[in-house]
Chains A and B, each alone.
Chain A
């Protein structure tokens, strides 16, 4: 009796040591997240001080945090893949994604510093909260990119979502912001619930939450197809919501219209990239030859979603009259392109996806910076308000043109390279699998690029082609000018020398 008890305790102890060992072994890989959490707490604490100097320092503290994470990730020497329990995996993808997310956070704060509404309003209360939440959101994004466990995915998505809900409401005295915030919370919680429900099905069917394991998928294949389909649709509803893909994109235009501009820029990049990486990990599980032939169902399902997203995004954007809503649907269409890139299975698509996301980051932030300037300084609310402004601010006008052409995907800008890589991968995949879905996607993607020109060109059209009575020059602050260049330069560099970035991504993934 005592002996068995002793054995039992011993076993438990052994298990515990093992668990602690593996936690300790993996903990090092979570340094960026820990750093973010520490800076988050620091910001919240500093926010308690009433001193104006401290308040003024808050964004810079947040920037320091993000910048140190960025440096940490870029310089990180050890390349090996580290798994933290069976929850989080720190591999090349997660590391590169972490770099992108840190940049996203940095850019968001840089945009916020240029935003008079946020800066003025936040002199007093809530200033720390705003910047702290951005850090929190970046932390959530990092976790999303590292998750290999359904529950962890859910938790990470929730961290991101809750931060997003509050950030949407930053300017809560504006009616639009309140409407956007409410819609976002309602849709968001619903989709989270639906996703969780679907995950519970998965758990019930497989007894596991580790979706990168082949055994997980094998037991799904053995289960009743109807159940699996229902569960998959429920889970993907949550993912598609996060990347604002059709038919779960309805929140996008409203939130983009109500949230402050830096936050819109953040939404159009960060959560979208993280969501794509979650789906990428899902899809990558099918690389195992024993379940590879089940991929065609997933491909069909995601292919339809990608097609719908591309079509909805591009065609709805044609009818938009405000730049914010136009960019909302543009961001939907880019979600479609990213989804499409994931389906080029059999080709080396990860590099292309990461490349595309990098380009998306720069062009979206550039465009939103331009819109923020136009909105706050010159009260531009609709596309018509841009009328004749181009010659009055040639520099910013040309920068906007660069971003828009890159978003369309025209050379000589990196947006073209991103699309070229995605299309090439899809073509490759079609060559090796002859899946008709891929050909349909390829043709739709290319033709919709033509449609995209129609709406993106509207802004330069009003800027330069339409004339205005006044000719006085519009003044742009030096910091804004520098930021515009900061976002435009990579677009040119990554067109003329994309291999610089591609090689680096490849090295990280290896």
Chain B
């Protein structure tokens, strides 16, 4: 077996162990080890990206590359058959971009943390734990494993915000923790429902002795098993229930009579139980995305978090939400995904507009950027809800590009905050005169974020808009006005960025008198160049050569949309009877 993915996940953990063993006073050593660990992770991520074959067809259930599958936990519960949890990781077009992004931002975050001097050891330990869990989240193909990493992200984040954060850090950290925990509890309910409903046909065949232990079952046998399951000829005690996400994507793996089976006929609040389950996981991931109206933790968390943590939060942690929707929610509940597409798209549009309007009203530069994140994440939802190839590709591209650009944006805010200990827009004017290089990077970041052609953000927005425009004909999802309204969101984002630029950076140099004593307004340092230059280059690179990522995602996305549309339509037809009762 190939251990590339495991090394990606556990390299930071290994580095964390080294940090743990280093004495507390060796601050430089601790920082160096962390940097080394993340650099190695980045190297493996790049190697993975280069080695990933984007042309191989992935149809949602198969086609994962670099797969590692090990039995982890297995126990039988009497007459209920076996339960099986696997260490199952793999990468496909949906996750490859996220993995690369995590590698890049992980290194940038460490460089940005270089001047942390309070409890250095604790900080970098938590940082490395966070990196492990985020990477694990993007690579896990077993729901339990995914959930483990998903929940484990909360803890390091809680402490990173709560200990190293700003004045209201305790409140922000708790709010973040509670919000996301509630979200993950929703996901937990559905996870329990799913794994008690789904069998692993291959493991069941092994359990029944149709094929030897550890011998892979042929495709025919798997089909045969699925038929037998649906006809009810497999004994309860032989069924091997599984957490495997690919197995959950196959409707034929659902046990007849289980509550989440399409034919179960169980309803709750006049909706089929599958739809309720969809709404629950959707809510769980929407909190993470975040989408209006469950976004309120984000501005608080961002404002209070230290700069590097804001960078991580915006650039990779938010992506877990969107990634979860693509990896789990839609393929497992394609019927509900199709049924609720207008609802999800509507939330996306609402986030775009509301986030942009809020950003327009903010005086705190960091809050402005936090709300712009909400607005941009709305595009992810809109693209996904369209269920067109362009839209979903756009959603993935948006996550990737926003990861690069938002990292830049928060770094840029950190630069001014480090110098003036303040980041109120109205407290500064004409900064361009004193900090020309800094202003140049701000301009690049702002323009990249508002979708100027040539930057990666433009490609993402273009794809999402194309997808949502064509959705009514292509897939029958989304009313057309949504795409139109989303364009207004683009205008608004231009407005808040340009207005902020004009107020803070242009005109005559002036800063608020009370800040003058403490503020040392100087241009960028070498360390800051080191962080901003690569990000700017990458944003440009992926803006000019979109095929760098699209070639990798394309086939997987095609597989995804086909799977969701086909299964969704079939299952919706079955559920019509309940829906129109």
Contacts and interface: CB of A to CB of B under 8 A. Distances in A.
B74 A499 contact: yes
Contacts of A411: 147-148, 151-152
B306 to A, nearest CB: 14
Contacts of A233: none
Contacts of B574: none
Nearest to B197: A431
Chain A interface size range: 35 or more
Given A450-B178, A497-B73, A348 B185 contact: no
Interface string A388-403: 0001001000000000
Contacts of B75: 498-499, 502-503, 506
Contacts of A405: 155
A461 B185 CA distance: 21
A420 to B, nearest CB: 7
Given A351-B77, A411-B148, A498-B75, A427 B192 contact: yes
B76 A347 contact: no
B177 A457 contact: yes
B199 to A, nearest CB: 14
Contact of A446 (B155, B173, B185, B259): B185
Contacts of B163: 464-465
Contact of A457 (B78, B147, B174): B174
Given A411-B148, A464-B162, A465-B162, A427 B196 contact: yes
A449 B152 contact: no
Interface in B228-284: 257-259, 266
Contacts of A412: 148, 152
A123 B152 CA distance: 47
Contact of A506 (B76, B169, B195): B76
A301 B148 CA distance: 35
Contacts of B152: 411-412
Interface string A426-464: 011011001000000011001101100110010001001
A424 B258 CA distance: 13
A410 interface: yes
Given A446-B189, A465-B169, A499-B75, A428 B147 contact: no
A499 B182 contact: no
Contact of B189 (A394, A428, A442): A442
A229 to B, nearest CB: 31
A454 B152 CA distance: 17
Contacts of B196: 424, 427-428, 431
Nearest to B162: A465
Contacts of A442: 189
B562 interface: no
Given A424-B192, A428-B80, A410 B185 contact: no
A145 B192 CA distance: 31
Given A411-B147, A427-B193, A450-B182, A348 B80 contact: yes
A450 B185 contact: yes
Interface of A: 347-348, 351, 391, 394, 405, 410-412, 416, 420, 423-424, 427-428, 430-431, 434, 442-443, 446-447, 449-450, 453-454, 457, 461, 464-466, 496-499, 502-503, 506
- Can you list the 8 inter-chain pairs with the closest CB atoms, starting with the nearest? A348-B78, A465-B162, A499-B75, A502-B75, A348-B77, A411-B148, A450-B182, A465-B170
Given A431-B257, A431-B259, A449-B185, 14 more contacts: A348-B80, A410-B154, A416-B151, A423-B188, A427-B192, A457-B158, A457-B177, A461-B170, A461-B174, A464-B159, A464-B163, A498-B75, A503-B75, A506-B75
12 contacts: A347-B77, A348-B77, A391-B119, A410-B154, A410-B155, A411-B148, A416-B151, A423-B188, A424-B195, A428-B80, A446-B189, A465-B162
